[in-house]
Amino acid sequence: MITLDKIRAARILLVDDSADNITLLSETLKLRGYTQVSFTNDSSQVCKLHAQNDYDLILLDMHMPGLNGLEVMKQLKDVEKHATLPVLAITGDQRYKLAALGAGARDFIVKPYDLAELDMRMRNTIEARLSYKAMAEQSRLLEEKALHDSLTGLPNRRLLADRIETAMQYARRHHQMVAIMYMDLDGFKQVNDQHGHAYGDSLLKEIAVRLRSVARQEDTVARIGGDEFIMVLAEIVRVEDILRPATKILGLLEEPLVIGDVSVKVSGSIGISFYPKDAEDAEALIARADGALYCAKHAGKNRYQFAGHPAFDDTRAYATANMGLQ
């Protein structure tokens, strides 16, 4: 619900080449409780100001030197972030009413106007604008929720696939690689069984924080279910570029975590695959990393394993053997 307080706090821009008109209207709006009123007498600045401030209402005089109101609205459409222009057109010429509405104005008022009528038209225009913004924000939040894990806030599998595809496209253009690190926690089930799911959830949230601390800006950390996480490392030039983050992650995963008065400790196993060496699409890359993870766990856990090389007990040897691989 859009309350009167929200309407009075809306961002308003007055556009008029007459200083007297601006002064009179500014004072009138302030007396009626509007708290965020700004103005300009230069119609060429309206688009720039709206792009910066995203006004909830623009009171636009249609008869301005330089750019007239119709020309201003044409430019506003290029910077408007929402469905309709928040313009209340002010004109002294009845013939401009239809032209103003056709150009995108939400409403209009004809001079000389009654202040009570102006206030009502302003309120209606602002209320429509704020309602649309609220619905757009709600839609954004729902989309955000659909793309992120509700417990950790990390991207989920749906968003992960998109991030992998983006990283692969960049790698193709720049002749680089993408690494997929598929991780799960060794001993997580025991934490849940011994201390309860609340402790397990706290542990997963802390693991998410630790993984984020390792990721670079171009990387993605996702939770794909249970105690399974995937990190996408973009812009990889050599296989050995993975050694440092993989080793650091293993160290972070096995650091004890105090939850309440209980200290819990797990470790992690990691399977690693590379684009384009191991696969050339997201699902196949994940599957190859998952297979490597299986090998890491069966080789003793608390280690990382490269896809396609289950025989390597020391995965550093594999990385060393493949240094310089493009």
Q: Does residue 310 have a cis bond before it (omega within 30 degrees)?
A: no
Q: Are 217 and 304 in contact (CB under 8 A)?
A: no
SS3 of 115, please?
Answer: helix
β-pairing, 107-110 vs 87-91, is parallel
Say how far apart CA 174 and CA 168 lie, in whole Å. 10
Q: Does residue 112 have a cis bond before it (omega within 30 degrees)?
A: yes
Say how far apart CA 302 and CA 293 lie, in whole Å. 10
Q: Say what angle helices 157-174 and 115-147 make with each other, to 10 degrees.
A: 80
Residues forming the active site: 227
Say how far apart CA 77 and CA 238 lie, in whole Å. 47
Handedness of CA 223, 226, 227, 230 (dihedral sign): negative
